[in-house]
Amino acid sequence: MAKITNEMIQQILQHVGGGRNIKQCGNCMTRLRLTLHDDQFVDKAAIKQIAGVLGVIESDDQLQVVLGPGKAQAAADLMKQMLESGEADDLHDASATQDLTEIASANKQQLKKKQTSAVHRFLSKFATIFTPLIPGFIGAGLLMGLASLLTLLSANQNLFPADSTQLEHLKSLIAYMSVFGKGLFTFMGLLIGYNAQKAFGGSGVNGAIIAALFILGYDPAATKGFYSGMTDFFGWYIDPRGNIIGILIACIFGAWVEKQVRKIIPASLDIILTSTITLLIVGAATFVFIMPIGVWLFEGMSWLFMHLNGNPIGTAVLAGLFLIAVMFGVHQGFIPVYVALVEAQGFNSLFPILAMAGAGQVGAALALYVKAKKGSVTRSQIGGALFPGFLGIGEPLIYGVTLPRVKPFVTACLGGAAGGFFIGAVAWMGLPVGLNTVFGPSGLIAIPLMTSDQGVLPAMAVYAGGVLVSYLCGFIFTYLFGSKNVDLD
């Protein structure tokens, strides 16, 4: 692939209207991100022809030039040097200047045809929240998947006798490989809060602080977590349930508040007062309004999941909605249900149904991989996230692949619903299957852990069948309906 050179950056500058048209220059892992004064002077077709450019994407108020992993940072640094030195201001030649009016006229016509609804703008910003987190999700997910495999291996006493030095070393390795995922998913809310507030026009650090309100604990007697020093908000009971959804609502609202505050604060006092006032307003709104909304959604989702396990339609709904429940943080509330099922049936019959949700994500990701061009960034992202997905670690696929693109997330959930229907239908006909313990891994790694009243082999076959149905339906739904007008560069 082409290297990042002065000539390449000069060509990009020429086709965005010159250095004077650039308001802000930045980057993420794979893209050079430009905020422009007037995007009508952009010649996207010409930029795409530049050697080394993999694609061009317009996302609300940003122009994103896809360069690939490891190159966006170099491109941004080089462009900033040119902008600071003034070299970029004189790059567009006379012929380019003469063409700007024609380009602007053509782009006006394109903009009329382009969807510019509030929903479209929202989804464009929503995608930018998760995109910068992709490398971490993939890396931590791979390590967690490998740790799951090693955990199963450690149970083999022929290979690793009890109290042996080898077993102790293996356990230390497993703990080390798992700690990164635990760190990421424990504090993921901070990262999402930072990106959400920044994406919607606020300061990222304010978003992270607001997100922390959902992570801190409010019970001084709790043995886990971080005690906030508060037990109530002026007598108002604090319940931080709602998880990622609550954080997104709070930070999107926080960005709006910050912009309104900044309008009325004098420039000389902006650095002192804007964030202070924003945090006080949004923090109060979060405790009084947003957290109760999150609790209402949490309890509503919990009720749904507790009352749908028992027929094929219900199990399809359970599997289809499970990933949404994960975003609400409801899934942790199922553990008492798991315990009750094991006590009543001898196995956890709900777990394999919910595991189909992750299999649907795998099918959807495979469809996007097939649809994406060879050598594209999308393919490299999916390739890194698939291995954890097969092992039941779904976060890299959810937050790194399907959710940022929205449509594939929906079709993936439908694929999971199909797998849930399959397992529910088999149970309806007299062969309920389940996990042989209260809680365990999902994905392909869970196949040997399945059991039923009719033995292990039938249970393993039913679960494997459900996984294959989810893979297949997630693939078909996404290939046909979830990949149109979706970023696959």
33-84 pLDDT, tens digit each = 898 888 788 888 889 889 888 888 876 567 889 887 668 878 888 888 888 7
Q: What are phi and psi of 156, to 5 degrees?
A: -80, 105
138 near 146, Cβ under 8 Å? no
DSSP assignment of 378-438: HHHHHHHHHHHHHTT--HHHIIIIIGGGSHHHHHHHHHHHHHHHHHHHHHHTT--EEESSS
Neighbouring C-beta atoms of residue 429, cutoff 10 Å = 9
pLDDT the model gives residue 311: 84
Strand partners, 63: 34, 58
pLDDT the model gives residue 81: 85
Tell me the chain's radius of gyration from C-alpha atoms. 25
Q: How confident is the model at residue 115 (pLDDT cuts 50, 70, 90)?
A: very low
Query: In this predicted model, what pLDDT tens digit does every residue of 210-244 receive, in sequence order?
Result: 999 999 999 998 888 889 999 999 999 998 876 77
Amino acid present at 150: L
Average pLDDT over residues 248-255: 94
Catalytic residues: 28
369: left (phi over 0), alpha (psi -120 to 50) or beta: alpha
297 near 242, Cβ under 8 Å? yes
Please determine, looking at this structure, whether the domain spanning 4-84 carries the CATH number 3.30.1360.60.
Answer: yes
Neighbouring C-beta atoms of residue 210, cutoff 10 Å = 30
Percent of the chain with pLDDT over 90: 32
Q: What does the alpha-carbon distance between residue 375 and residue 54 come to, in Å, rounded to a whole number?
A: 9
Which stretches of 202-254 are assigned E, i.e. beta strand? 232-233, 236-237
Q: What does the alpha-carbon distance between residue 354 and residue 363 come to, in Å, rounded to a whole number?
A: 15
pLDDT at 113 over 50: no
Structure tokens at 216: 């801190």
3-state secondary structure at position 29: coil
pLDDT the model gives residue 479: 95
With CA atoms as reference, report the closest residue to 218 among 207, 208, 229, 210: 229
User: Where do the domains of the chain lie?
Assistant: 4-84, 127-298, 309-479
| Minimum mean pLDDT range among 24-33, 305-314, 386-395, 429-438 | 305-314
pLDDT the model gives residue 210: 97
Amino acid present at 287: F
CA 2 from chain center: how many Å? Answer: 30
| Minimum mean pLDDT range among 28-42, 415-429, 444-458 | 28-42
Query: In this predicted model, what pLDDT tens digit does every residue of 285-295 receive, in sequence order?
Result: 999 999 998 88
Q: What are phi and psi of 428, to 5 degrees?
A: -60, -35
Percent of the chain with pLDDT over 70: 82
Question: 182 CB contacts (<8 Å, ≥6 apart)?
Answer: none
Query: In this predicted model, what pLDDT tens digit does every residue of 313-360 receive, in sequence order?
Result: 999 998 998 888 776 655 655 665 675 667 667 788 888 999 999 999
Angle ∠(442,404,367) on CA atoms, nearest 5:
65
pLDDT the model gives residue 481: 93
489 near 381, Cβ under 8 Å? no
pLDDT the model gives residue 124: 62
